[in-house]
Chain A
Amino acid sequence: QKEVEQDPGPLSVPEGAIVSLNCTYSNSAFQYFMWYRQYSRKGPELLMYTYSSGNKEDGRFTAQVDKSSKYISLFIRDSQPSDSATYLCAMSARFYSSASKIIFGSGTRLSIRP
């Protein structure tokens, strides 16, 4: 079983819809949760960064962490064609004796139809 599970999609929604992207994980030691966005033939870019449980909002994006269920979500409101990309969840349990070890999901491909 993978430490982080992410539905690969593809997910196709009409412009303006609310998008929900999700990941589940098995390691209860994870404390830091991230969402990276990756456009085709580009490197990932950090979109959201959260620590522990709760919600974080940044413009049209909301990241949600439920540690009791080992489940994280990314919501995109008023989705735009420019949001079409692959979204990678990532998480880590930081140990100061070594560099943080980040586990990435395999990514969900999202397409927003005009």
Chain B
Amino acid sequence: NAGVTQTPKFQVLKTGQSMTLQCAQDMNHEYMSWYRQDPGMGLRLIHYSVGAGITDQGEVPNGYNVSRSTTEDFPLRLLSAAPSQTSVYFCASSYSVREGEKLFFGSGTQLSVL
């Protein structure tokens, strides 16, 4: 099993550009989420999904969009990149909402916005 797969691993964008970070899991997990990790601030929840067709906002959703058309995929879209979005992004999944704390993380996407 591949687990949680994120692409790309690295990305450099110019201010104002848009892009999509891909996330796929092959564990048939119900719950998927996106976090950003910044120095000294811990992991912060951007958006999450409790199942196909259902998404909701986390702690820092502004400037990001998500959709969940299948159980496996949960892409994160940056609408108009800003330097404040320079960060490491992690996709994570868990078997169910009731065990949402037992997260499986992808290996991350390091994003720089110039």
Residues of A within 8 A of B (CB): 4, 6, 8, 32, 34, 36, 41-46, 49, 88, 90, 92, 94, 96, 98-107
Stretch at the interface among B60-68, B73-81, B99-107: B99-107
Q: Does B53 interact with chain A (Cβ within 8 Å)? A: no
14 contacts between A and B (CB under 8 A): A4-B42, A34-B101, A41-B107, A41-B108, A42-B108, A43-B107, A44-B103, A49-B102, A88-B43, A90-B43, A94-B101, A98-B56, A99-B31, A100-B101
Is the pair A43, B108 in contact by a Cβ cutoff of 8 Å?
yes
Docked CA distance A45–B4 (Å): 12
**Residues of chain B with a CB closer than 8 A to A100's CB:** 97, 100-101
Docked CA distance A41–B45 (Å): 19
B44 to chain A, nearest CB (A): 8
Q: Does B90 interact with chain A (Cβ within 8 Å)? A: yes
Is the pair B41, A106 in contact by a Cβ cutoff of 8 Å?
yes
Is the pair A46, B102 in contact by a Cβ cutoff of 8 Å?
yes
- Residue from the set B31, B101, B102 with the largest chain A CB neighbour count within 10 Å: B101
**Residues of chain A with a CB closer than 8 A to B24's CB:** none
How many A-B pairs fall under 8 Å by CB?
63
Contacts known (A88-B42, A104-B43); A94 close to B100, Cβ less than 8 A = yes
Docked CA distance A4–B44 (Å): 12
Is the pair B48, A44 in contact by a Cβ cutoff of 8 Å?
no
- Residue from the set B33, B42, B100, B103 with the largest chain A CB neighbour count within 10 Å: B42
Is the pair A99, B42 in contact by a Cβ cutoff of 8 Å?
no
Is the pair A44, B42 in contact by a Cβ cutoff of 8 Å?
no
Interface mask (B71-94 → A, CB under 8 Å = 1, otherwise 0): 000000000000000000010100
Interface mask (B11-49 → A, CB under 8 Å = 1, otherwise 0): 000000000000000000001010000001111110010
Is the pair A104, B108 in contact by a Cβ cutoff of 8 Å?
no
**Residues of chain B with a CB closer than 8 A to A4's CB:** 42
Least CB separation from A33: chain B residue: B101
| Contact pick for B100, options A41, A44, A102, A106, CB 8 Å | A102
Docked CA distance A98–B98 (Å): 10
